[in-house]
Structure 1
């Protein structure tokens, strides 16, 4: 019987529904068990201006717990120069607000499978990852890169959790300097907004031209606060003026008397004008 001419596609990339490419992962070269990673190009329009560019970011699913950010970076560095690696418990957007905390101040990470975002320097690296043969596994633990597990990993984590007081003081000082800098920038921004939205005595706002490309902001927080404060003062004066019923009644009487006085003055003025008018036929 002649051998079959049909060839298996194990030496090619393995695709699954959803646009994911399956990569084979092996803990060490002497283990037979393999793990599967699911990767595809990260394309989210909402994150166009974030640290995950659409054409250079690789989205990775099913990352095992023994793979840290450093291990993932070394695994994918064979496809190109890596700019950054980020591991999360579940997919999500980038949160860059506020100063970044050191790892010693962060809550302990959950132990489990992770999702990752690998940002390359070049867009061609994404194609190289997606075309990687499925039967060629990525080896995690090698002679050059030792990955500890079990008790050895716990000992390493405990040792890394201990920090010298000098190093801790340096981290705290750096954090406080960053915090003070951000606070000064925020105060300067609020001061500039207050100057641009400054009102005169009659309530007019001076509108100035901002830098090119800046979005118009018709109202600022400071201007809104001043408007509310002015309305509260007017309401308070009105309440104090007509607090009692007899005060309100007297105010109405004075207003009516003033109107009658003006009416009588107008009548006298009209009568005087009529008396001074002369008939001049020629």
Structure 2
């Protein structure tokens, strides 16, 4: 029987762990390929708007020459990309404090990274996971070339040179934002202190909650005041008869004290009787 001449459609390569293998090719004429592993981001504990569970693709083994802009262009063929985040290792997207300028941001480690690709549509996740393994994603094209080698190092050196006027603008902008945040924090604390201020009779103003329920407003100052009051109450209170031997010793001391008072009363009564006795001579 002659073999069939029909060509089988290439399918996606899925490995244990639920990862789909995507092939990267640096240029169209490059013979070497690199494998990037992707799967849908499903961390239930992380419920943030930056990484929606149904629109975020988690990728590992991203090569060092791929920046966030390059990764965004590569995955744009599966659908519109909203944002791309590259990290040294997986972790939460929580960020506290203001975003620092590039002049004060520590240099990132040069190595393979993990990425979070957020699409506009949930259907893009399925399109990326069903991409054939033998169809590589080309990184550097004629329309969008990617620099490597000496040219990349020269550009990085030029970008590392800091212009004094630009740096001064960044510093001034950061200090203005810092002063504004400090003023807002002081105003917030002052407002909370006024709300929690007790009058001469010990009454505290009660505000109405978001659902129309009257409740005492919870604030950091109120919590500290309550903790200080509880600490003082705990210091004044003594633990009496906490253990069995303490209770037994207390009873013995109480009985001994009663016996001592009884003997003293007997002596006092005997003395009173002797003083009241009639003596004619």
- The interval holding the TM-score normalised by the smaller chain is 0.7 to 0.9
Whole-Å separation in 1 of the counterparts to 2:111 and 2:73: 20
2:78 pairs with 1:61: no
Task: Indicate how the Cα distance of structure 1 residues 182 and 212 shifts in structure 2: closer, same or farther if over 3 A, else same.
Answer: farther
Give 1:233 shift: 10
Three-state SS of the structure 2 residue aligned to 1:90 is: coil
Within 5 Å, give how 1:187-266 maps onto structure 2.
187-212=186-211, 219-226=218-225
Task: Indicate how the Cα distance of structure 1 residues 23 and 207 shifts in structure 2: closer, same or farther if over 3 A, else same.
Answer: same
Give 1:25 shift: 0.5
Give 1:115 shift: 0.3
User: What's the counterpart of residue 141 of structure 1?
Assistant: 140
Unaligned 5+ residue runs, structure 1?
A: 235-282
User: What's the counterpart of residue 2 of structure 2?
Assistant: 2
Give 1:139 shift: 0.6
User: What's the counterpart of residue 166 of structure 1?
Assistant: 165
Give 1:6 shift: 9.1
- Runs of 4+ residues over 6 Å off in structure 1: 228-234
Three-state SS of the structure 2 residue aligned to 1:186 is: helix
Whole-Å separation in 2 of the counterparts to 1:225 and 1:182: 23
> How many positions carry a matched residue from both structures?
233
Unaligned 5+ residue runs, structure 2?
A: 234-281
Task: Indicate how the Cα distance of structure 1 residues 203 and 136 shifts in structure 2: closer, same or farther if over 3 A, else same.
Answer: same
Whole-Å separation in 1 of the counterparts to 2:212 and 2:123: 33
* Aligned 8 A contact 2:56 2:119 in 1: yes
Give 1:7 shift: 6.3
Whole-Å separation in 2 of the counterparts to 1:117 and 1:27: 21
Q: 1:107-128: per-residue Cα shift (whole Å, max 9, x none)?
A: 1110110000111112121121
**Comparing 44-53 with 15-24, which one deviates more in the overlay?**
44-53
Within 5 Å, give how 1:1-150 maps onto structure 2.
2-3=2-3, 11-150=10-149
Give 1:218 shift: 6.1
Whole-Å separation in 2 of the counterparts to 1:180 and 1:109: 29
Task: Indicate how the Cα distance of structure 1 residues 139 and 153 shifts in structure 2: closer, same or farther if over 3 A, else same.
Answer: same
Give 1:48 shift: 1.7
Three-state SS of the structure 1 residue aligned to 2:187 is: helix
Q: 1:54-110: per-residue Cα shift (whole Å, max 9, x none)?
A: 111111110000101111111111122211111000000013211100122111110
Task: Indicate how the Cα distance of structure 1 residues 61 and 194 shifts in structure 2: closer, same or farther if over 3 A, else same.
Answer: same
**Once superposed, what is the RMSD of the aligned Cα atoms?**
2.8
Task: Indicate how the Cα distance of structure 1 residues 118 and 231 shifts in structure 2: closer, same or farther if over 3 A, else same.
Answer: closer
Task: Indicate how the Cα distance of structure 1 residues 86 and 202 shifts in structure 2: closer, same or farther if over 3 A, else same.
Answer: same
Task: Indicate how the Cα distance of structure 1 residues 162 and 212 shifts in structure 2: closer, same or farther if over 3 A, else same.
Answer: farther
* Aligned 8 A contact 1:198 1:223 in 2: no
* Aligned 8 A contact 2:60 2:113 in 1: yes
Three-state SS of the structure 2 residue aligned to 1:170 is: helix
**TM-score (normalised: structure 1):** 0.73
Whole-Å separation in 1 of the counterparts to 2:230 and 2:4: 90
Task: Indicate how the Cα distance of structure 1 residues 81 and 213 shifts in structure 2: closer, same or farther if over 3 A, else same.
Answer: farther
